Amino acid sequence: MQENYDPAAVEAAAQRHWQEHDTFRASEDPARPKYYCLSMFPYPSGRLHMGHVRNYTIGDVISRFMRMQGCNVLQPMGWDAFGLPAENAAIANGVPPAKWTHDNIATMKRQLKTLGFGLDWSRELATCLPSYYRWNQWLFLRMLERGIAYKRTGTVNWDPVDQTVLANEQVIDGRGWRTGAPVEKRNIPMYYLGITAYAEELLAALDRLDGWPERVRTMQANWIGRSEGVNIAFPYRLGEERRLLRVFTTRADTLLGVSFVAIAAEHPLAAHAAASNRALAEFVEECKRGSIMEADLATMEKKGMPTGLTVGHPLTGAQLPVWVGNYVLMAYGEGALMGVPGHDERDWAFAKKYGLPILPVIDVGGRPYSTDAWQPWYADHGRCVRSGRYDGLDYAAATHRIAADLEAQGLGKLQVQWRLRDWGISRQRYWGCPIPIIHCERCGDVPVPDEQLPVLLPEDLVPDGSGNPLAKSAAFVNCTCPGCGRPARRETDTMDTFVDSSWYFLRYASADNERAMVDARVGYWLPVDQYVGGIEHAILHLLYARFWTRVMRDVGLVTLDEPFAKLLTQGMVRNSIFLRRPAAGRLVYYNPADVEVLTDASGSPLGARLKSDGGPVESGGIGTMSKSRNNGVDPQAIIDRFGADTARLFMMFAAPPDLSLDWSDEAAEGMFRFLKRLWKEVYVHVTSGEPVRLDPPALAAAAKELRRLAHQTLAKVTDDFGRRRTFNTAIAAVMELLNAVHGFDEEGPQARAVVHEALEIAVLTLSPVTPHLAHALWRELGHERAVIDEPWPRPDPAALVQDAIELVVQVNGKLRGRVTVPAAASDGEVRAAALADPQVRRFVGGQSVRKVIVVAGKLVNVVV
CB nearer RNA, residue 308 or residue 813: 813
Tell me how far apart the alpha carbons of residues 112 and 53 are, in angstroms, rounded to a whole number: 8
CB nearer RNA, residue 255 or residue 573: 573
- Interface positions, 602-631, toward RNA (CB under 7 A): 602-605, 621, 623-624
- Residues 526-555: x where in contact with RNA by CB under 7 A, - otherwise, as a string: --------xxxxxxxx--------------
Should residue 812 be labelled a site residue for RNA when binding is judged by CB under 7 A?
yes
Assign residue 101 a region: left if phi > 0, alpha if psi is -120 to 50, beta otherwise? alpha
Should residue 739 be labelled a site residue for RNA when binding is judged by CB under 7 A?
yes
Contact 321, 260 (CB under 8 A): yes
| CA–CA–CA angle 578, 583, 588 (5° rounding) | 25
Contact 365, 274 (CB under 8 A): no
CB nearer RNA, residue 43 or residue 56: 43
- Interface positions, 346-375, toward RNA (CB under 7 A): none
Q: How far is the CB of 750 from RNA (least distance, A)?
A: 23
Helices (H) and strands (E) in the chain, counts: 28, 37
Should residue 815 be labelled a site residue for RNA when binding is judged by CB under 7 A?
yes
Looking at 62-70, 90-98, 547-555, 727-735, which segment touches RNA (CB under 7 A)?
A: 727-735
CB nearer RNA, residue 477 or residue 540: 540
- Write down the H helix ranges in 781-837: 797-800, 827-836
**Of positions 32, 152, 208, 215, contacts RNA by CB under 7 A:** 215
CB nearer RNA, residue 2 or residue 222: 222
A 10 A CB-CB count for 820 gives: 11
CB nearer RNA, residue 254 or residue 576: 576
Amino acid at 20: E
- Interface positions, 136-175, toward RNA (CB under 7 A): 154, 156-157, 165-169
Strands 661-662 and 573-580: parallel
CB nearer RNA, residue 119 or residue 717: 717
Looking at 356-364, 468-476, 784-792, 852-860, which segment touches RNA (CB under 7 A)?
A: 852-860
Contact 176, 214 (CB under 8 A): no
Tell me how far apart the alpha carbons of residues 511 and 703 are, in angstroms, rounded to a whole number: 53
In sign, the C-alpha dihedral spanning 282, 283, 285, 289 is positive
**Of positions 183, 190, 440, 758, contacts RNA by CB under 7 A:** 190
**Of positions 14, 66, 309, 420, contacts RNA by CB under 7 A:** 420
Should residue 491 be labelled a site residue for RNA when binding is judged by CB under 7 A?
no
CB nearer RNA, residue 578 or residue 653: 653
Should residue 85 be labelled a site residue for RNA when binding is judged by CB under 7 A?
yes
Q: How far is the CB of 864 from RNA (least distance, A)?
A: 9
Q: How far is the CB of 469 from RNA (least distance, A)?
A: 15
Query: Which residues does 752 contact at the CB level (< 8 Å), separation at least 6?
Result: 685, 688, 689, 691, 692
Q: How far is the CB of 74 from RNA (least distance, A)?
A: 22
Contact 834, 852 (CB under 8 A): yes
Q: How far is the CB of 406 from RNA (least distance, A)?
A: 26
Q: How far is the CB of 433 from RNA (least distance, A)?
A: 12
Tell me how far apart the alpha carbons of residues 306 and 351 are, in angstroms, rounded to a whole number: 12
Tell me how far apart the alpha carbons of residues 629 and 573 are, in angstroms, rounded to a whole number: 13
Should residue 6 be labelled a site residue for RNA when binding is judged by CB under 7 A?
no
**Of positions 37, 118, 810, 825, contacts RNA by CB under 7 A:** 810
Tell me how far apart the alpha carbons of residues 708 and 800 are, in angstroms, rounded to a whole number: 5
CB nearer RNA, residue 11 or residue 496: 496
| CA–CA–CA angle 196, 199, 200 (5° rounding) | 140
Q: How many residues does the chain have?
A: 864
Tell me how far apart the alpha carbons of residues 391 and 131 are, in angstroms, rounded to a whole number: 66
CB nearer RNA, residue 352 or residue 676: 676
**Of positions 391, 405, 736, 790, contacts RNA by CB under 7 A:** 736
CB nearer RNA, residue 240 or residue 301: 301
Tell me how far apart the alpha carbons of residues 643 and 640 are, in angstroms, rounded to a whole number: 6
Looking at 6-14, 496-504, 552-560, 696-704, which segment touches RNA (CB under 7 A)?
A: 496-504
**Of positions 292, 362, 551, 638, contacts RNA by CB under 7 A:** 292
Burial bucket for residue 632 (CB in 10 Å: 0-12, 13-18, 19+): buried
Picking from 639, 424, 642, 660, the residue whose alpha carbon sits closest to that of residue 535 is 660
Tell me how far apart the alpha carbons of residues 614 and 631 are, in angstroms, rounded to a whole number: 19
Should residue 298 be labelled a site residue for RNA when binding is judged by CB under 7 A?
yes
Tell me how far apart the alpha carbons of residues 233 and 240 are, in angstroms, rounded to a whole number: 18
CB nearer RNA, residue 328 or residue 788: 328
Tell me how far apart the alpha carbons of residues 615 and 610 are, in angstroms, rounded to a whole number: 6
Tell me how far apart the alpha carbons of residues 100 and 43 are, in angstroms, rounded to a whole number: 12
Rounded to the nearest 10 degrees, how much is the dihedral formed by the CA atoms of 113, 89, 296, 192? -80
Q: How far is the CB of 667 from RNA (least distance, A)?
A: 4
Q: How far is the CB of 112 from RNA (least distance, A)?
A: 16
Q: How far is the CB of 850 from RNA (least distance, A)?
A: 8
Q: How far is the CB of 636 from RNA (least distance, A)?
A: 18
- Interface positions, 422-481, toward RNA (CB under 7 A): 423-424, 426-429
CB nearer RNA, residue 148 or residue 280: 148
3-state secondary structure 576-632: EEEEECCCCCCCEEECHHHEEEEECCCCCEEEEEECCCCCEEEEEEEEECCCCCCCC
- Total residues contacting RNA (rule CB under 7 A)? 109
**Of positions 377, 498, 524, 744, contacts RNA by CB under 7 A:** 498
Q: How far is the CB of 259 from RNA (least distance, A)?
A: 21
Name the strands in the sheet holding 412-418, side by side, starting at the edge strand that comes first in the sequence: 241-249, 226-238, 412-418
Q: Which neighbouring-strand residues pair with 311?
A: 320
CB nearer RNA, residue 305 or residue 807: 807
**Of positions 219, 560, 686, 702, contacts RNA by CB under 7 A:** 219
Contact 792, 778 (CB under 8 A): no
Should residue 496 be labelled a site residue for RNA when binding is judged by CB under 7 A?
yes
**Of positions 64, 313, 550, 716, contacts RNA by CB under 7 A:** 716
- Interface positions, 30-69, toward RNA (CB under 7 A): 43
- Interface positions, 643-682, toward RNA (CB under 7 A): 653-656, 659-662, 664, 666-667, 669-671, 673-674, 676-677, 680
Should residue 728 be labelled a site residue for RNA when binding is judged by CB under 7 A?
yes
- Residues 221-260: x where in contact with RNA by CB under 7 A, - otherwise, as a string: -xx-x-----------------------------------
**Of positions 7, 59, 78, 83, contacts RNA by CB under 7 A:** 83
Should residue 379 be labelled a site residue for RNA when binding is judged by CB under 7 A?
no
CB nearer RNA, residue 139 or residue 860: 860
Picking from 468, 445, 499, 432, the residue whose alpha carbon sits closest to that of residue 140 is 499
Picking from 252, 18, 26, 235, the residue whose alpha carbon sits closest to that of residue 124 is 26
Q: How far is the CB of 449 from RNA (least distance, A)?
A: 26
Q: How far is the CB of 657 from RNA (least distance, A)?
A: 9
Should residue 572 be labelled a site residue for RNA when binding is judged by CB under 7 A?
yes
Looking at 259-267, 445-453, 505-513, 735-743, which segment touches RNA (CB under 7 A)?
A: 735-743
